[in-house]
Amino acid sequence: MDIVYSKPISEDKKFYLANRRKKGVSDKSYRNEKRDGFIKIFLYFIIIFFSLLILFKVSFEFFIADKISIKNIEVSGSNLLSENDIISMIALDGGKGLSSIDLSDIENVLESEPLIKDANVSKSLFGTLYVSIVEREPVCLTLFNNGVYSVPVAIDEDGHFIQIGRNVVNQNLLVLSGLNLNRLSLNSRLTDSLMPLLSDLYILKNDYFDYYYLLSEIRIDAYTNESFDVLLYLKDYKVAVRVLNRISKNDLQYILVVLNTLKDKIDFNYIKEFDFRSDNIIFTTRAGEVEKYER
């Protein structure tokens, strides 16, 4: 059978194609073989490229990196801590080469600081150290009595004591009282039973600060390892509000509506505490009498 070509091709290729036809090999099979050949070439190229890349990295680490020293440190994520605080914690030896710097050691040093929750450190080929940190955010403060005076202590949402001293009181934090702390040290932690309440405070502080700011103090009352009540002290009212061990924006909204309604019906000067733990609102007078106000 004669073979007709759409464009001139070499005699060798004519002979090659004619032989393939005689052997029963179709044009589709030929195209598939050609495609497979391109794939093999591409895979060889990828293997060679990554091999050269690995070779370059190994050569750089052994012969070049140790001759490059850290010339610059870039810090991100710091708020309560200054950039100088972070750099002083790292305390790099100026004579150290790039390859002799252990990034995981630096991360561990940074994360040992009570105010730092997470640290990530990387380095560039040009002598720059990149330090990214996530700080622990205080959600409340407590007052620790050391026998001489009361010391303010900042607490984060995970219950860690992260900051001690006069700087704590400048952060618009509500007071968490009733903890009965026997000792105090940074990075100490409150018990797990208090974590849900601290999580609630974190949400209020970050998402509904207007409601968070209404509270001046939260007191832990009738506290055991299993359960406790919470007494809320609102800035605009001189009475305590007793609730269960959680507090949300909706809870505060409801409490405010009820208190605004009751202030025209009850003289708050004679009320010591309102109890919102049941369907009926129970209030205790300063004389110790207990009365019930039905909703």
Assess whether 110 and 256 both reside in one domain: no
Assess whether 131 and 143 both reside in one domain: no
Phi, psi of 95 (to 5 degrees): -90, -5
Assess whether 115 and 246 both reside in one domain: no
Assess whether 226 and 259 both reside in one domain: yes
9 within a domain of the structure (yes/no)? no
Question: Does the pLDDT value for residue 2 go beyond 70?
Answer: no
Give me the CATH number covering residue 120. Answer: 3.10.20.310
Assess whether 120 and 149 both reside in one domain: no
Assess whether 154 and 124 both reside in one domain: no
For residue 112, the enclosing domain spans 68-135
Of the three residues 62, 84, 114, the one that is the final residue of a domain is 62
What's the CA gap between 268 and 43, in Å, rounded? 82
What's the CA gap between 44 and 92, in Å, rounded? 43
Region of 47 please: left (phi>0), alpha (psi -120 to 50) or beta: alpha
Nearest by Cα to 276 from 289, 263, 257: 257
Confidence label for 5 from pLDDT (cuts 50, 70 and 90):
very low
Of the three residues 40, 62, 84, the one that is the final residue of a domain is 62
Assess whether 152 and 200 both reside in one domain: yes
Assess whether 100 and 226 both reside in one domain: no
Least confident of 60-69, 144-153, 154-163, 185-194: 60-69
| pLDDT value at residue 1 | 47
pTM of the model: 0.70
pLDDT digits (tens, 9 = 90+) for 191-247: 888 999 999 999 999 999 999 999 999 999 876 656 788 999 999 888 899 998 899
| pLDDT value at residue 251 | 94
13 within a domain of the structure (yes/no)? no
pLDDT digits (tens, 9 = 90+) for 258-277: 998 888 888 888 889 999 98
Assess whether 82 and 192 both reside in one domain: no
Q: Vertex 163, ends 161 and 165: CA angle to 5°?
A: 125
Assess whether 248 and 287 both reside in one domain: yes
- Enter the DSSP assignment of 66: G
Assess whether 271 and 168 both reside in one domain: yes
Of the three residues 135, 164, 181, the one that is the final residue of a domain is 135
What's the CA gap between 99 and 293, in Å, rounded? 72
**Cα separation of the two ends of the chain:** 101
Judge contact between 108 and 121, C-beta under 8 A.
Answer: no
Q: How many domains does the structure of the chain reveal?
A: 3
Nearest by Cα to 157 from 124, 122, 198, 194: 198
